[in-house]
Structure 1
Amino acid sequence: MTTTLRLIVDQIVAPVPGAVGRYTRDLGRALIAATPPGCEVEGVVSSSPPDDYARLETELPGMSALYKSSLARRELAAAWQFGLTTSPGGGMIHGTSLFAPLRKHDATAGDQTVVTVHDVVAWTHPEALSSASVAWQKGMLKRARRHADAVVVPTHALADRLSMIADFGDRIRVVGTAPRSGLEVGPDAQARAVQLGLPGAYLVVSGTLEPRKGLVDVLTALGRRGVPEIPLVVVGPESWGDQHLAQTADELGVDARRILRFDDLAPEDLAVVIAGATAYLAPARDDDSGTELIEAFSLGAPVIHSDTPAYVEVSAGGGLTVPIGVGDGFADRLAAAITRVVEDREAANRLAISGHDRARAYDWRDSAERIWHLHADL
């Protein structure tokens, strides 16, 4: 008899797949590759255009089948929020987010549902999301507390925060992430760097001008007197609300001509950008995952990061930690760290080596095997 793991793959073809879409794709591929004997992986997706079904078959080769709901994504999300549908049936169901059919089920019959929580922004920074998204996430977490057999999180730091929001007892399981697929430097790296217009030396930071992301702190640090006038590559949108990158940089004393910005880069281009950086900056004041550190470590970039619990956990000494503290001192400490890494190449090389060693602790195959073991334990 074949045991089927039903994987919710909808986020891959969502209008904005984002980090959860990448996670779903990479974990899905690894789950298929690590499938134990007598088991199979079936995809579950909302009603979608035929091209989306074909894309899923291409992105996740080896799926035994693709269950196609009769409800479109928005309607399915609402139905699952209120427990109004029994699709896609029983057995083992794995949600790569809270988007899953959380309902009463018979565990003695082999039915089980596992969901994934990537952050608690709906509770800590609700202003960063739409009111509808906040309500949906809070509603689904309540359903998870009642009906989920386990909740997967990427870090112990997030496990601790989630435990303070809802009592899951021993149902929270930590399964780490890994670099996104395709994030590798190829033989055409130099040509890609020229095409992207990358300078000879530069810093890289990902994110938006939203305060908790820390980009404003980086610009403040670069505007401090005595900090090397090194270019900054920003991977993210040009504006956040009524704030604009060039204007904010100018107000903080950073010549906007020093800034090179990209929106969403292909993995091959992002790899070139990160691998060629003098340092990768991860200045977030609040983060629950730490995946961006893993990616930078894997490409051998020296990493300077804030001391959020998730970053400290993921880094484990592989990067240069900058305490956030209180007040306005964070930017000054960032300025000192940036100056040190830019001016002391020996220190930068040590960071590159220690980070690359740390990256070896994170692998999608290992994550997939942990997920299979989790379902077997349940």
Structure 2
Amino acid sequence: MTTLRVIADDTIARTSTQPRINGLTRYAGELTRALIATAPPECDVELIVSRRPTSELAAFESAFPGTTRTTVSRLPHGALASAWANGVRVAAGTGILHAPSLFAPLVRGDQHVARQLVVTVHDTIAWTHPGSLDDAAWARRMAHRAAKHADAIVVPSHAVAAELAEHVNVGERIRVIPGATSAGITLPDDPEVRASWLKLPERFVLASGSMDPRSGIDALVEAAALPEFQDVPVLVVGDDEWRGRRITEAAMLAGLPEGRVRPLGTVSDSDLALLLTRAAAFVAPSYAEGFGLMALEALAFGTPLVHSDAPALVELASGAGYQVARYDAGSRYAERLAAAVGTVLAGDARAEALATLGRDRAKAFSWRDSGARVWQLHAEL
């Protein structure tokens, strides 16, 4: 029996009561379930997590039926991250290891003990936009350790593969394995009640992000104040209440009336499905992305996508969205965003074409396929 040992800390949201998990947690959880579902004959999956309360472990294990066992480290998450970043060989284990992030035992191995390790790098923000991360130095350090100690490095897009190679000497060990949308994002049982509770406008544009400069939401707020935007409200998901106030403040400074740009904070999966179903367009104005999960979710729901020309988003959409240049000496980014959104809002034929292209494009991504490709990668190693 061959056992794939998955370092599963990232499948557990480390915030208190977030109703919608973040992108990394989503990726790690969905990929782990896919690895369990696509395990070849005579292969099984074991999970490795840092120390946590017994009550939390019970809920964690129930989310991944089909695993052989769960191994719990003696160290909590923070201590384990610090130990591995400093090359301490603790809770490293042997055998075949897969990490859905850089949280991994990237330490010098014992030459007498066989071990195979694959880690995942989701983006290059630690170099391009370090202020967007809580600990960019840790991410850079672990990426360099991965270049030394990992047998392969998984990235979600060819864009990240090219960008990572500019910062870290990874040689030929990069493998591109994208993510996918979750089957759990479905409409609520009472969509009309939820729409009323959320105070959804009859027509609105949806976006995800914060006032972090990398996300491009500042440019979208500025765009919403331009005539081409047709006074259509913008709803923004994906940020907590405190940070969401910064979006409201930016809208006020742009001269927009109250409610024209409204942060919703984190939303449940069912509310997200409702928002995507009813949005006139989804705008992804990011200056930098590793994959673009929310953009893919919009494509899957047939929501017309307007996106920046960040390489990962261009790769993801592959012509199924309305592309907007981030940098152009001839006009401001906000003006180009407003023009693109206005075109989608004004033309039913254009919106319908984007919806059809989006649904077709989203079919190219599957968690089962991603899981099978990870198993194949380990078999090749």
1:348 paired with 2:351, answer yes
1:314 paired with 2:316, answer yes
Q: Residues 311 and 101 of structure 1: is their aligned pair in 2 closer, same or farther, counting only changes over 3 Å?
A: same
After TM superposition, give the deviation of residue 88 of structure 1 in Å: 4.2
Letter aligned with residue 169 of structure 1 = G
SS of 1:317's partner is: coil
5 Å-filtered alignment, 1:112-191, equals 112-130=116-134, 133-191=135-193
Aligned position for 1:5: 4
5 Å-filtered alignment, 1:185-204, equals 185-204=187-206
On the 8 A contact 2:224/2:234 being kept in 1, the answer is no
SS of 2:185's partner is: coil
Aligned position for 1:297: 299
After TM superposition, give the deviation of residue 181 of structure 1 in Å: 4.1
CA distance in 2, matches of 1:265, 1:14: 14
On the 8 A contact 2:221/2:261 being kept in 1, the answer is no
On the 8 A contact 2:216/2:285 being kept in 1, the answer is yes
After TM superposition, give the deviation of residue 185 of structure 1 in Å: 2.5
On the 8 A contact 2:118/2:153 being kept in 1, the answer is yes
Structure 1 residue corresponding to 2:362, chosen from 343, 346, 359:
359
**Normalising to structure 1: TM-score of the pair?**
0.94
Greater Cα offset, 15-24 or 362-371: 15-24
SS of 1:127's partner is: helix
1:44 paired with 2:44, answer no
SS of 2:46's partner is: strand
Structure 2 residue corresponding to 1:56, chosen from 60, 74, 95:
60
> Residue deviations 1:334-358, cap 9 Å, x none?
1111111111111111111100100
Structure 1 residue corresponding to 2:260, chosen from 258, 261, 280:
258
Which runs of 5 or more structure 2 residues have no equivalent in the other structure?
16-20
SS of 2:227's partner is: coil
On the 8 A contact 1:13/1:52 being kept in 2, the answer is no
**Normalising to structure 2: TM-score of the pair?**
0.94
Letter aligned with residue 72 of structure 2 = K
Greater Cα offset, 218-227 or 303-312: 218-227
CA distance in 2, matches of 1:290, 1:246: 24
> Residue deviations 1:288-318, cap 9 Å, x none?
2122211111111010001110000000001
CA distance in 2, matches of 1:181, 1:44: 25
After TM superposition, give the deviation of residue 107 of structure 1 in Å: 8.2
Greater Cα offset, 23-32 or 97-106: 97-106
Aligned position for 2:38: 34
After TM superposition, give the deviation of residue 110 of structure 1 in Å: 4.6
Letter aligned with residue 125 of structure 1 = H
Letter aligned with residue 11 of structure 1 = D
Aligned position for 1:271: 273
CA distance in 2, matches of 1:264, 1:181: 19
Letter aligned with residue 18 of structure 1 = N
Q: Residues 298 and 231 of structure 1: is their aligned pair in 2 closer, same or farther, counting only changes over 3 Å?
A: same
SS of 1:256's partner is: coil
After TM superposition, give the deviation of residue 86 of structure 1 in Å: 4.0
Provide the alpha-carbon RMSD of the alignment. 1.8
After TM superposition, give the deviation of residue 261 of structure 1 in Å: 2.3
After TM superposition, give the deviation of residue 203 of structure 1 in Å: 0.4
Aligned position for 1:246: 248
Number of residue pairs aligned between Structure 1 and Structure 2: 374
1:370 paired with 2:369, answer no
On the 8 A contact 1:23/1:180 being kept in 2, the answer is no
Greater Cα offset, 226-235 or 150-159: 226-235
SS of 2:182's partner is: coil
After TM superposition, give the deviation of residue 250 of structure 1 in Å: 1.9
Letter aligned with residue 367 of structure 2 = W
Letter aligned with residue 334 of structure 2 = A
On the 8 A contact 2:23/2:293 being kept in 1, the answer is no
Letter aligned with residue 124 of structure 1 = T
On the 8 A contact 1:47/1:69 being kept in 2, the answer is yes
> Residue deviations 1:175-195, cap 9 Å, x none?
001113411235533332222
CA distance in 2, matches of 1:195, 1:14: 26
Aligned position for 1:95: 99
Percent identity over the alignment?
40
> Residue deviations 1:94-117, cap 9 Å, x none?
011100111233689652000000
SS of 2:334's partner is: helix
1:338 paired with 2:341, answer yes
Letter aligned with residue 66 of structure 2 = G
On the 8 A contact 2:229/2:341 being kept in 1, the answer is yes
> Residue deviations 1:224-271, cap 9 Å, x none?
134311111111335559x72222112213212223321111111111
Q: Residues 160 and 226 of structure 1: is their aligned pair in 2 closer, same or farther, counting only changes over 3 Å?
A: closer
Aligned position for 2:18: none
Q: Residues 376 and 232 of structure 1: is their aligned pair in 2 closer, same or farther, counting only changes over 3 Å?
A: same
